[in-house]
Structure 1
């Protein structure tokens, strides 16, 4: 990659318009199709399409209609502040996310919305909405334990509802404004590790580790739907992220058979991950068969990806290949320790395989992002003010 230094002379009007302080030194990226000069433009504060006043007014009206005649409203429960917060916050948050996405889609900026197709937007919206829903649900479960039996009058309840609804909307707005591959990966990590961790903690009394990891999604487990929903939600986010990344990869590298096959394998991996949650291991022979099948396919897909990534993506870094082979070797060793000498229990083997496979998948997604962001040529540009002559 080339690295040179060039100078640019600009007028006072240009400097004032771009709100930059001269002289200024910054990197200049030159790719096959464009030249990028990252000028520090004045940032505009983005307002919520569905403003705070509208959301607060609607929340106030709904609280009055729903809780009219109630002397005390419980914090958690079926007819409680938490239920109303989840309902109003989720609906208004989804509306705000959608409007903000459309707003970015129609503007000529470098926002991720330009590269996310409409066919994948519902998946993305559903994923983030479920993430907020599950997070809020878990929060109120904790609050319900901390403040057991707490209830409030209608005025205090209304303030609490408006506060939490506003927070949920702000989170959805932040997700829409800062949408990027990195933010989606972070959400994916938070969902899968957070969801699995919560399921483990919830079922500690059942001693799930004496059975296997899949026990967390069986009817015998406490709130098994959380574990299964975690896998399904992770699959949705993976599909959205893969579709987004490959739009950018096609632009940078062109559509070739290697990228097409890699995209197909990654999408199949996401589908199998979701299938493990969609077909929980229960008393039904059909569900048991499908659960075992998609879990087996998931293992095969990971092995195929690790082995073939060198040929499917020749531009991948050598260090990544070395780490891939190391992880593949550790997977083989864990299989030997489990099946060969029976040193590992089924639960230990599943946990090790899960952590290794998911870590490698995150590494691959990050490697794809690095390829997308890597410029063909890098220059250092020095911007100076045009001299004035008297």
Structure 2
């Protein structure tokens, strides 16, 4: 049958008013429906959902950086790429200050007008801001370290140096503004991964000449290690970021599942885990007997908390999937095996045992947080709609 000869019926989709409010749609307005392999999505075509970074802020920061650098470098004929009074030092300093201001401004601005159900609370801002500042500083340090090796001894005149600093500071602010406008629970998890893995990696690289692996993993935070404060600060910041993330997602989990005793217990266990993680860095293992005792205690508590969480997650977290339970029990079994290999048959060294335990435990914790976020997102994003098929006038006449 030819397509134009077919009798068609009008089909309407009846959606809850909450969807209209979230998409800022009014009655009898047109919306876009996107269909792909993942499903069907409704979008307000009049509303720009893309996260755009205003160029005005970037331009202002660039011009201010240019003026400051021209003033500071005025007595120098050549400015080095790295070192004191260098391009790198100016970019890091001005990037942190301006990035912090822009991040805070756009975080507050976007959070006020955001109608989504997942918004950060004001109490989370200091921790999130500090974490992103650490990330951007670490990224800049790594970048300039590589550039310093590639262009060893490179110097530039005052105008070239000032322009380079202005451009790089503008890029830093672009990243900070975009991050402030795009914060989600998933992005916070990525930040947590970057902070802890980046900090640990830098500590390992910094102490490679001291062969830290011949001692133990905790050596990176002892006074004998080079720049041990970096390793300890990484653990403390990771702890704070975990606290902010846990506080963030459990507010919405309570709204979905109710503030039950099981969820309260799960939140307490996760918060205690985060506190113990920070405690390992806050109490580094040094010559003080008090610090040694506290370090060993919080490290031991951390192990016990992971064991309790893995065993009890089946009862504490509602709607936990069987797939996640299988992963949890598999990781728990692997932790048990490496304990036997270390304590029982003495096959693994202390460093290998600590590294294996750290990777497995941290991976499971990230999976747990992501699983909770998936539960929250699913509950907030899934709606029941009604499809109404309304026959056309031709169809009605034909039936009559």
TM range (shorter): 0.7 to 0.9
Q: 1:100-249 alignment to 2 at 5 Å? A: 100-110=106-116, 112=118, 114=119, 116-249=120-253
| Residue 94 (1) aligns with residue 100 (2) | yes
User: Partner residue of 1:315?
Assistant: 319
User: Partner residue of 1:60?
Assistant: 66
Q: How many aligned residue pairs are there? A: 373
Cα 1:19–1:351 change in 2 (3 A) is: same
Cα 1:308–1:24 change in 2 (3 A) is: closer
Tell me how far 1:51 sits from its aligned partner.
Answer: 1.1
Contact 1:93 1:169 in 2 (8 A): yes
Q: 1:29-68 alignment to 2 at 5 Å? A: 38-39=43-44, 41-43=46-48, 46-48=52-54, 51-68=57-74
Q: 1:227-376 alignment to 2 at 5 Å? A: 227-375=231-379
Report the secondary structure of 1:70's partner residue: coil
Q: Which moved more, 1:342-351 or 1:133-142?
A: 133-142
2: distance between equivalents of 1:171 and 1:23?
31
Cα 1:333–1:108 change in 2 (3 A) is: closer
Q: Which moved more, 1:281-290 or 1:120-129?
A: 281-290
Counterpart among 25, 29, 32 of residue 20 in structure 1: 32
Q: TM-score with structure 2 length normalisation? A: 0.84
Report the secondary structure of 2:202's partner residue: helix
Cα 1:152–1:331 change in 2 (3 A) is: same
Contact 2:96 2:133 in 1 (8 A): yes
Contact 1:67 1:154 in 2 (8 A): yes
Counterpart among 77, 87, 110 of residue 81 in structure 1: 87
Cα 1:342–1:90 change in 2 (3 A) is: same
2: distance between equivalents of 1:289 and 1:234?
22
Tell me how far 1:207 sits from its aligned partner.
Answer: 1.4
Cα 1:361–1:51 change in 2 (3 A) is: same
1: distance between equivalents of 2:376 and 2:293?
40
Structure 2 unaligned segments of length 5 or more: list them. Answer: 1-10, 16-24, 395-400
Tell me how far 1:359 sits from its aligned partner.
Answer: 0.9
Over the residues paired in the alignment, what is the CA RMSD in angstroms? 3.1
Contact 2:53 2:174 in 1 (8 A): no
User: Partner residue of 2:78?
Assistant: 72
Tell me how far 1:199 sits from its aligned partner.
Answer: 2.1
Contact 2:314 2:325 in 1 (8 A): yes
2: distance between equivalents of 1:371 and 1:77?
48
Contact 2:59 2:170 in 1 (8 A): no
Contact 1:131 1:191 in 2 (8 A): yes
1: distance between equivalents of 2:153 and 2:28?
60
| CA offset digits 1:154-177 (Å, max 9, x no partner) | 111111111111111111112111
2: distance between equivalents of 1:63 and 1:371?
49
Tell me how far 1:21 sits from its aligned partner.
Answer: 6.7
Q: TM-score with structure 1 length normalisation? A: 0.86
2: distance between equivalents of 1:37 and 1:319?
30
Structure 1 unaligned segments of length 5 or more: list them. Answer: 1-5, 29-35
2: distance between equivalents of 1:233 and 1:23?
41
Cα 1:383–1:147 change in 2 (3 A) is: farther
Report the secondary structure of 1:221's partner residue: coil
Cα 1:346–1:7 change in 2 (3 A) is: same
Q: Which has the larger radius of gyration?
A: 2
